[in-house]
Amino acid sequence: MTVKVTVDLNRKFIVTADINTVFSLLSNVPASAEHFPKVHAITALSDNSYRWDMEKVGLGTYSIQTSYACLYISDSDAKTIVWTPIKGEGNGIVSGRWELTEVATGTNISFKTKAELTLPLPGLLKLAISPLVKFEFSGMVDTYLRNLKSLWG
């Protein structure tokens, strides 16, 4: 039996780094992933496609490991990076985008992502597990964004 959990996040923040510095790191998926917590492995599948395998996370008596793959499209003129899911890879379907805007003090960063995770857990646990999974996922994303903000000021 499985449980599906959907997480939808939108975050915005400003850093003092210039837009080209920010874009350069974010469009380099393996380099950007170094700042994301609890990544077990990131594997290049083909040009601009990567599989993310996260560390196992314990939820009570259960442990789960999330794995998903995305195709990344970077547009250096628009200063956007968009990722779309590659179906059939792992137990997650993840999509999202970075949107960068130059401002007088540096770069305005908009981060949006949506994840649908299919977890091998009894359906009866959905009400209890779903908030915990959302909390863990949100926490990892927020740590990632704090790490980036700390890097760029």
Q: What is the pLDDT of residue 60?
A: 66
- Domain with 133 in it: what CATH number? 3.30.530.20
Q: How many domains does one find in the chain? A: 1
What percent of the chain stands above pLDDT 90?
73
Query: What is this structure's pTM?
Result: 0.91
* Structure confidence at residue 136 as a pLDDT band (50, 70, 90): confident
**Tell me: the pLDDT tens digits for 28-76?**
999 999 999 999 999 999 889 999 999 987 766 777 789 999 999 999 9
The DSSP annotation for 5-61 comes to EEEEEEEEEEESS-HHHHHHHHTSHHHHHTTSTTEEEEEEEETTEEEEEEPPEEETT
- Domain of 49 in residue numbering reads as 3-152
* Structure confidence at residue 125 as a pLDDT band (50, 70, 90): low
The backbone torsions φ and ψ at residue 97, rounded to the nearest 5 degrees and listed phi first, read -160, 150
